[in-house]
Every structure is written in structure tokens, then in C-alpha cells.
Amino acid sequence: WKIDENEMLPLAVIQDNEEGMGVAEIGARTKTNIANANLIAAAPEMLEALESMMARLLDEHESWKYDNTLKVVRDAIKKAKGE
């Protein structure tokens, strides 16, 4: 995903492919909206990286299975997936 660079249109996040399909219309190009659009655009890669890190961490460090941080991360992943 990426931010639509057409400054004549409201700020939007689009799929980074030939079709450029819309993902989310954010609105005016304010500093906060641009930050939100960047976060939305990065979300798929961030989720994939977090899931990968979790799997590796749990494989290498048994003690993390009992850490409260693990619950926070699992809850965040569930929220990102709409579960």
C-alpha cells in the first residue's frame, strides 16, 4: 500500500499495483492525516514483521511465553486482523 500522490484529490491510501485501488480515504492533507495515512500504508508490512518476530522469539526464548508483553502483542495482532 502507498499514499496516493495526486495532490488534487483528498489524501488516500491505495494499493501499490497497476490498478491503484483505494484502500482508505483519509481527508485533507494535514500533518496528522499524513501520519495516519503513512501508518495505514505500512500496516501490512508491520503486521507481517510482528508475527514473524513473535514466532522467532517464542521459538528461541521459552520464558517469553509467560510474559505480559506477549499478551499485549497477541491482542494487537488480533485487533489488526479484526479477530
Closest alpha carbon to 20 in 12, 8, 9: 12
Q: Can you give the pLDDT at residue 42?
A: 92
Q: What's the predicted TM-score (pTM) here?
A: 0.70
Q: What is the pLDDT of residue 26?
A: 87
- What is the reported pLDDT for 45? 93
Per-residue pLDDT tens listing for the chain (83 residues): 888 888 878 888 888 777 767 778 888 889 999 999 999 999 999 999 999 988 888 888 777 777 788 888 889 999 988 89
11 backbone φψ class: left, alpha, beta (φ>0; ψ -120 to 50): beta
Q: Which pLDDT value is given to residue 70?
A: 83
